[in-house]
């Protein structure tokens, strides 16, 4: 199997595995609300969702056959975009990555700059994933939670810890990794560093740690495999000329445009802000929690509430769409179904919270 076939194989497997793991997300009839891009789309019969889902899955399986690859990927993408238009929660960073890689393989399969462009794509993901973590929310509140697999730190304990400085290792390490990947002489070092990074993440959020957000496990495994395939290639990094369309596109979409999310001009989901501590969430306070089957309740300062993102992750294996307008709309939709007292938008817990059994 040629290297390019292996890359398409990994992308298709990761995409299908992610869809399977989050299958309730794709169902049009569920308790947790959907978020269509336009309100009239809520009236589309469920049958069309099922047809689109079936078409997408069938087309993705057909894409494993080389003779059907191009047409099958495009059909699957159209079905996916229709499903996203019905629920923005289906638009996640990992899907964005998989689809872009597949589109590169559809339209630029024989392009001499394909490997260079994929290097740029993955390096851009690492760079911006690291850059957006250079903020107090990640360093003070998200990072100690990720240490759970190694040692438990409460939010309060971490603020007094003498090793707080190690939190800078994650964002700075990711940014350094991006640069190492783009330099041929340091690419072997980058390969080792990337594998260590992803194995560490898997240990942190995997079954030996938080045992949480399983769909991101797939993403990390896929990144290890893609790194191994791409970065063992010793091709020299060439200067990106204006006529080199594919590397230019990769640079624009994965390096330049993500900067605009700091000015609210580019979506968080395309800027790889996952686990940055800078994406919105909502606490939902109800007057009566008995109306919900097995609610996920948290308690802080004697107040019980539902964490919206945790609820979606538990029931749909997918985080909420990480924009404030989406979080507010989803919380309001839930409040219309339940006895809601108030909604509180927040980014991170700045104090310890307890799970209520």
pTM equals 0.94
Instruction: Tell whether 143 and 268 lie within a shared domain.
Output: yes
Instruction: Tell whether 274 and 285 lie within a shared domain.
Output: no
To the nearest whole number, what is the mean pLDDT of the chain? Answer: 90
Point out the domain boundary residue: 214, 245, 278. Answer: 278
Q: Which of 152 and 265 is assigned the larger pLDDT?
A: 265
The region that residue 33 occupies, defined by phi over 0 for left and psi between -120 and 50 for alpha, beta otherwise, is beta
What pLDDT digit, counting tens, does each position of 250-279 carry? 999 999 999 999 999 999 999 999 999 999
Instruction: Tell whether 258 and 148 lie within a shared domain.
Output: yes
Count: domains in the chain: 3
Instruction: Tell whether 269 and 303 lie within a shared domain.
Output: no
CB 175 within 8 A of CB 131: yes
Instruction: Tell whether 272 and 223 lie within a shared domain.
Output: yes
pLDDT band at 240 (very low <50, low <70, confident <90, very high): low
Assess if residue 99 is contained within a domain: no
Quote the pLDDT of residue 186.
87
What pLDDT digit, counting tens, does each position of 85-136 carry? 999 999 999 999 999 999 999 999 888 888 889 999 999 999 999 999 999 9
Query: Strand 340-346 relative to strand 281-286: parallel, antiparallel, unpaired?
Result: antiparallel
Assess if residue 106 is contained within a domain: no
Token pair belonging to 152: 């438990």
Instruction: Tell whether 133 and 195 lie within a shared domain.
Output: yes
Q: CA torsion angle for 171, 177, 179, 184 (degrees, to 10)? A: 180
What pLDDT digit, counting tens, does each position of 303-343 carry? 788 899 999 999 999 999 999 999 999 999 999 888 788 99
Point out the domain boundary residue: 278, 306, 326. Answer: 278
Instruction: Tell whether 244 and 288 lie within a shared domain.
Output: no
Instruction: Tell whether 47 and 139 lie within a shared domain.
Output: no
Quote the pLDDT of residue 293.
67
Instruction: Tell whether 271 and 149 lie within a shared domain.
Output: yes
Point out the domain boundary residue: 251, 278, 305. Answer: 278
Domain that holds residue 69: 1-90
DSSP string, 154-192: -HHHHHT-TTGGGGGHHHHHHHHHHHHHTSGGGHHHHHH
Instruction: Tell whether 302 and 266 lie within a shared domain.
Output: no
CA pair distance 224, 276, nearest whole angstrom = 21
Q: Of 79, 49, 45, whose CA–CA distance to 61 is shortest?
A: 79
């Amino acid at each position: 199997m040629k290297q390019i076939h292996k890359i398409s194989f990994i992308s298709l497997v990761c995409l299908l595995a992610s869809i399977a793991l989050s299958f309730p997300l794709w169902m049009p009839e569920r308790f947790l609300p959907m978020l269509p891009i336009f309100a009239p789309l809520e009236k589309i019969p469920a049958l069309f969702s099922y047809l689109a889902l079936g078409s997408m899955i069938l087309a993705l399986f057909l894409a494993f056959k080389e003779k059907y690859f191009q047409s099958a990927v495009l059909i699957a993408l159209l079905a996916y975009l229709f499903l996203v238009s019905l629920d923005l929660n289906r638009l996640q960073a990992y899907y964005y990555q998989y689809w872009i890689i597949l589109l590169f393989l559809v339209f630029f399969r024989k392009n001499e700059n394909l490997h260079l462009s994929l290097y740029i794509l993955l390096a851009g993901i690492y760079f911006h994933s690291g850059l957006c973590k250079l903020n107090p929310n990640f360093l003070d509140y998200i990072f100690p939670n990720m240490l759970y697999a190694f040692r438990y730190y409460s939010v309060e304990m971490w603020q007094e810890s003498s090793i707080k400085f190690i939190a800078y290792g994650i964002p700075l390490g990711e940014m350094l990794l991006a640069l190492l990947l783009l330099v041929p002489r340091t690419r072997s070092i980058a390969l080792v560093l990337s594998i260590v990074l992803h194995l560490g993440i898997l240990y942190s959020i995997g079954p030996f740690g938080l045992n949480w957000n399983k769909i991101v496990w797939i993403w990390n495994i896929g990144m290890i495999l893609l790194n191994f395939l791409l970065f063992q290639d010793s091709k020299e990094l060439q200067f990106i000329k204006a006529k080199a369309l594919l590397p230019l596109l990769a640079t624009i979409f994965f390096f330049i445009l993500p900067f605009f999310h700091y000015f609210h001009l580019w979506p968080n989901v395309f800027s790889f802000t996952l686990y940055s501590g800078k994406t919105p969430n909502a606490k939902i306070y109800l007057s009566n929690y008995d109306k919900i089957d097995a609610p996920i309740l948290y308690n802080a300062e004697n107040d019980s509430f539902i964490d919206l993102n945790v609820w979606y992750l538990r029931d749909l294996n997918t985080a909420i769409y990480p924009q404030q307008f989406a979080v507010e709309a989803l919380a309001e939709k839930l409040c219309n179904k339940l006895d809601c007292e108030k909604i509180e938008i927040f980014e991170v817990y700045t104090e310890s919270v307890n799970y209520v059994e």
